[in-house]
Each structure stands twice: as structure tokens, then as C-alpha cells.
Amino acid sequence: MIADADTNREGAWNFLKGLEQYLKKTVSPSQVREFIHASKGTNYEFDFVNAFMLPSISSYLRQSLSPADAVTAFLAESVDARAKQGLASGTPASAHRHLFTKVLGVSARTLVEMWWGTGKKKPLSRSCPDWAFRFPCPHTVVFECKLFRKGGTDAAKLELVKSIYQCFYYRGQPKVPASDSHAEWDYDYARLLAYDASESGSLVKAWKCVDAKVEKECWNASNIFVMVLPTP
């Protein structure tokens, strides 16, 4: 059983590394910058995901799955009914609510107010990552996507810490059976896909200088694959 588990992790690593290489080829940094510059909306990350990430990821899935299976395997949050058609089969939102939130640094006092109804926030939280892979994809993966548009190295480091924590949070969700409207929450891996669209490349620089043990144990200890694009 251990050998099978090790083999599956190696396969998952290669599969996610392949996705990284595919996105490097299909998502042009110059096009992303032009898109952000021309965007008239305020939800840049939402628009970025719909315009660049979801089509490319769907295309990558179709390299190893049939078109129908690729749609079944792909769950996405930030797509409307028209964009979802032919790309994803549903939402990755959890069927059950969780005791804690994905926000890093929530105090115990805040949780007390939530749980006992003395604060403004609801007592429970529903998880809804950006997208996810489920069966018939051979690897079940939940994704957190971040678009970093501006800020220096300190801001980039904070964004990476918060985003990796969110991946850790998603991986820690309890397994629940599927319902009519939500997928079964049973993911073996999490992936942070952080895209650096800043002029100074702060996010890429920040990740390059992180302690090597942190980068290593994201995968070894937590099954979290961190990808920061674009890379040289």
C-alpha cells in the first residue's frame, strides 16, 4: 500500500508539473498585462481566471481525458452558465459548512462571537475554492488562484503566506458525500496557482527567496503544490 501511495504522489506531482509547463506555454504574460490594463471592471482576478486559466486548464485536461470526462472532472466557481458549458460540470463548493474560516489570523474571540451569535458574522463557513479536479481525473485536486497585480516584496510575501494557508485550510476540510448541487469534498491534493502581473515581479522574487525547507514541505508534509507564474 505504501508503494502505491508513493507512486500515486509521484504521478500527481508529474501531472501538476505538467500543468505548470502547459500554462507557461499557453498563458502569455504580455497578454495578461494588456488584459488587465484594458479591463474596466474591478474584479481583476475573476476576469483573469475566466479569460486565461479556465480555458487553458480545460485544454490540459483534454490531453489525457475525453472531452466529456474532462468536463465531468472539472469543477469551477467563477464561471457563468455560458462559460461553464463545455468547460466544467459544476461548482467546487462544499456541501457542508465548516467551523472555521479560510482567513488567516482570525482570533479565538471572533470565533466565540460567531459560534454564540453575538457578532455580525455567521457561525459557520462554506468553502468554495476557485476550481477543482475530481474523478475521472486520476488526481483529485483543489485549487486556490491569486492574481498579484501590484505591490512590493513584503506585500508579495504576505500574499503567499495567506494563499498557502488557504490551500492548507481546503486540504483540512472533512470528507462529505456528494449532494445534488455540490461535489463530494474529498481532495488528495491542493494547489496554489499564483500569477505575478506586477511590474517589478515581486511575487516571483518573493517565492524564489523563501526558505527551501518551506517550499519542500508544502508538498512533502501537506500535499500542496505551489506554482508561481510567470517563471523565466
Give percent of the chain above pLDDT 70.
89
Q: Where are the domains of the chain?
A: 2-91+130-229
pLDDT tens, position by position, 27-38 = 999 999 899 888
| 39-43, 52-56, 125-129: least confidently modelled range | 39-43
Pairing of strands 189-196, 74-76: unpaired
- For residue 100, give every residue at least 6 positions away whose Cβ sits within 8 Å of its Cβ, in sequence order, or none: 106, 111, 125, 169
Number of H helices, E strands in the chain: 10, 5
Q: Note the Cα 153 to chain centre separation in Å.
A: 22
Q: What is the rounded CA–CA span in Å between residue 232 and residue 222?
A: 26
Which of 136, 140, 153 lies closest to 198 in space, CA to CA?
153
Q: Are 223 and 175 in contact (CB under 8 A)?
A: no
Q: Model pTM? A: 0.88
Average pLDDT, the chain: 88
Reported confidence tier of residue 2, pLDDT bands at 50, 70, 90: very low
Higher pLDDT among residues 212 and 184, named by residue: 212
